[in-house]
Chains A and B, each alone.
Chain A
Amino acid sequence: MVTKHFNEPRELAYGAIHAELFQEETSWINRDSSTIFAGKTQRDLLIFAMALGRLKGHKSDVKDRQSNIPVSNMPEKQKWAILSIALAEHNDLMCLKDENPHYREAERYANEGLKILRSHIDKWGVDYPRYLEAELRDILKTSTKTLE
């Protein structure tokens, strides 16, 4: 379902410190990468990191912005993942009248989420999918957020 949004930004950005994860031939999203993100898109990685950052309650400003992720062709579900954080924060639908700040907030969560993700992938290596799956099952079971 295509929805009209208010003041949606043109792009999402990540910080230069994380650029190698997105852009290089050896990036996580490269089809030959050994990570769980092999073959996925830059925006999939960013949204994942954002959710992880939000779950941990960690966010930080994005320095040296690399605005490479167009918002216009982002699926509605991913847009609403971003907007649901804003709605949970403001508890007011009026916050949807200007979406731009929510996307900036999403970038801030992703900025920290990527750091957490690096440590998880370093720690779990090829077993990361198993670890993630177990954690997600746990969240669904207890409905509390327990990722370390």
Chain B
Amino acid sequence: MRFTISSIEMTNYRQYQGKQTLDFSFDKNKNVSIILGQNGAGKSNLLNALTWCFYGKEIHNDQQAKGTDGMPIINVAELDALEPGRSTFAEVVVSICTNTGQWLIKRHIDVLKDDLGKLHFDQPQLTVIYPFDGQDKIVEGDETQRLINNLLPEALRQFFFIDGEQLREFFRISNPTEIAKAIDNVSQLELVYKAAENLEAYENQLRKNVKATTPQLQKVQQKIQILKGKNEKAKESLQKNKEELEKDISELAQVEDYLRKHNDAVVSKLQEEREQSEKDIKSLNRHLKDAELERNGYLVDTAPYILLKDEIESAYSLIQQKVEKGDLPPRIRETFVRELIDSGRCICGNEIKENEKHNLESYSRKLELSELSEVCFGGNVTLGEILSDIKEFPSKIDQLNRKIEEFKDEYDEKKRRLDYISETLKKHNIEEIRAYEERRKKLTNGINKNENLIKMLEAEITTINKDLDEALSEERKELSKDKKNAQLRAKLQLVQEALKTLAGTEYIIKSKIRKQVERTTKENFLKLIRKKEAFKDIVIEDTFDVKVIHSQGYNAINDLSAGEYMIFGLSFMSALMTISGFHAPVIIDTPLGKIDDEHREQITTELPKFLQGTQLILLVTPTEYDDTVRKNLQEYLLEENFFKIVENESKTISKVISHGH
């Protein structure tokens, strides 16, 4: 269902005391709305108001207003002014315009101050009013959340209600799990997952019902249960380790960010050098692996000939001797010689004499060998080449080993330099830097440990699955021995085949969606990016690792600027939005923060066109909303869709002023 927001009404919500209303007009071509506010004034809480109203969750945290965690949802001034024994409330009401008519979504929370001044918060209540059979239907209770999810499933909200800061970071820190999750969300495979879950439960039930008629059957069924349990545990551990790994990677990026941007020039320089060295080490590792692969490949190619050196030399000499003796003449047709002997006359017309006839007879015996002339001459050349390859072996292998050693030396040098940087920062006279460096080391160790654990767990799961397949096949065999189990065996087989089909279906759908996201992200990215000729491809691997392929062929995902990350993030989110099939407003908090002028220009001129027909609400700071941005957005902005958030002097209460453009 397509919808746009016609108004947001907040009462006593967070820093907004009293009722604040934002009425939006929508025009397909003038699709942009601006909400302008200083950092900490309440922009992110406006986004929170929406997610709280829709899903009962506040997920957006302004860097400057981290204190919202401790701030009650109901306005503090309102609570302070509340007299004992009286109650008040907070609520957010969002009116939306759908193709079936106007909807109203309201989340409301009451609070009572008792005589001792203690606050008692009620459970928030959600109410949805929507047109049904020409009348407004009011729904409260359990059904309401289902109605909201029909409009925009919670799993998809992050593609529409976007935090600019998080979006920029989304691809800067490699997080395949998050990317996989995002793609999984738009794949809408809930039905497949539910079916698999039910089938697995049914399979376990069937297995419990079977009477073990042979000791072997009992044994194999126990084995299946054990393996399934092990598989579950290994999968859980794998998931946990992956999550930990991504958390550590994300925190490491923050720690490194702190060091890189530190006021102490030496610290920031060392951190920059370290980051460059780490990139170099990665690249050296790749070169080293390639060089080893080349050396090993050469060894595998050449070793058989050296191992067979005696045979090859003797074969070569055997052919060579025959050639030298003239036993390998060029091919002559045997029939031609036979005709000469039979007719007794040469082609010149003269009669063939007895001694000549004798020579021809002996020559015809050699003809059998002459049939092999071609293969022997070919062999002679090939064996000669092999012998020459063997001769080159010592010098060629030395050359390949030298290349490996050079890479290793360079690698060791870089590693030593990294140790030096780490030691220098650990001994720095500023305590905070020492602490950050210590934390960095812990995180790096944790990342290495988790990466190894993940590899081990993946290998373990592969082995368990193989054993499980064997055990299931043995179970089928055992069940077939007793006719009583025939029906059960057929049922089990059907369930197992259905599970395999479901797994296959899931894989196919996910692969298709992944490819579709990859294609659409690439189209979007190349449309939005300024340096169009600098990038040639976007790849989402089946491991969900994302690559931005530079025109020179390398993966540039770690080298993008803040603006390019933002554009990449927007391209990806936009691809997911399109593929999800849901048409909701796009609300972006701080879309232009930390972005260079050129990309600001690019985003503000291209994004409204790119999202034409979609309501686009931008929550911006005055720094973001500079003259150029204002000028660029003017043609997409209706005057009444411009709002300002203003704070009181003590910056504790905010209100929204409309039509201030």
Contacts and interface: CB of A to CB of B under 8 A. Distances in A.
A71 interface: no
Contact of A140 (B292, B383, B394): B394
B308 A40 contact: no
Contact of B303 (A4, A6, A26, A136): A136
B315 A80 contact: yes
A87 B296 contact: no
Interface stretch (B60-68, B89-97, B133-141, B369-377): B369-377
Contacts of A85: 308, 311
B310 A93 contact: no
B315 A87 contact: yes
28 contacts: A1-B378, A1-B381, A2-B378, A3-B378, A3-B379, A48-B303, A50-B304, A51-B307, A76-B378, A77-B386, A78-B304, A80-B386, A81-B305, A81-B308, A81-B312, A85-B311, A93-B318, A93-B369, A96-B372, A97-B371, A132-B299, A133-B401, A136-B306, A137-B394, A139-B306, A143-B309, A145-B307, A145-B310
A77 B378 CA distance: 10
Interface residues of B, number: 46
A117 to B, nearest CB: 11
A133 B307 CA distance: 11
A96 B295 CA distance: 34
B300 A36 contact: yes
Given A36-B300, A51-B305, A84-B312, 20 more contacts: A2-B378, A3-B375, A5-B375, A36-B296, A36-B299, A37-B296, A40-B300, A45-B300, A47-B304, A76-B378, A77-B389, A87-B318, A93-B318, A93-B319, A96-B375, A129-B292, A132-B299, A136-B393, A137-B394, A145-B310
Interface in B279-303: 292-293, 295-297, 299-303
Interface in A1-27: 1-6, 25-26
A145 B306 CA distance: 10
B80 to A, nearest CB: 64
A129 B299 contact: yes
Contact of A83 (B315, B368, B374): B315
A47 B385 CA distance: 17
A24 to B, nearest CB: 9
Nearest to B289: A38
A45 B312 CA distance: 19
A36 B306 CA distance: 17
Contacts of B300: 36-37, 40, 44-45, 48
Contacts of A140: 306, 309, 390, 393-394
A84 B311 contact: yes
A73 interface: no
Interface string A22-46: 0001100000000011111000110
B392 to A, nearest CB: 11
B322 interface: yes
Contacts of A145: 307, 310
A69 interface: no
Closest 4 pairs (CB-CB, A-B): A3-B378, A51-B304, A84-B315, A87-B315
B516 interface: no
B397 interface: yes
A104 to B, nearest CB: 17
- Chain B CB within 10 Å — which of A40, A44, A77, A139 has the most? A77
B382 interface: yes
Given A4-B375, A97-B372, A147 B307 contact: yes
Contacts of A97: 371-372
Contact of B382 (A76, A136, A137): A76
Contacts of B371: 97
A124 B378 CA distance: 38
* Most-contacted residue by chain B among A38, A88, A136 (CB, 10 A): A136
Given A87-B314, A93-B319, A129-B295, A139 B374 contact: no
Interface in B176-230: none
Contacts of B376: 93, 96
B184 to A, nearest CB: 24
B561 to A, nearest CB: 33
A77 B374 CA distance: 16
B375 A81 contact: no
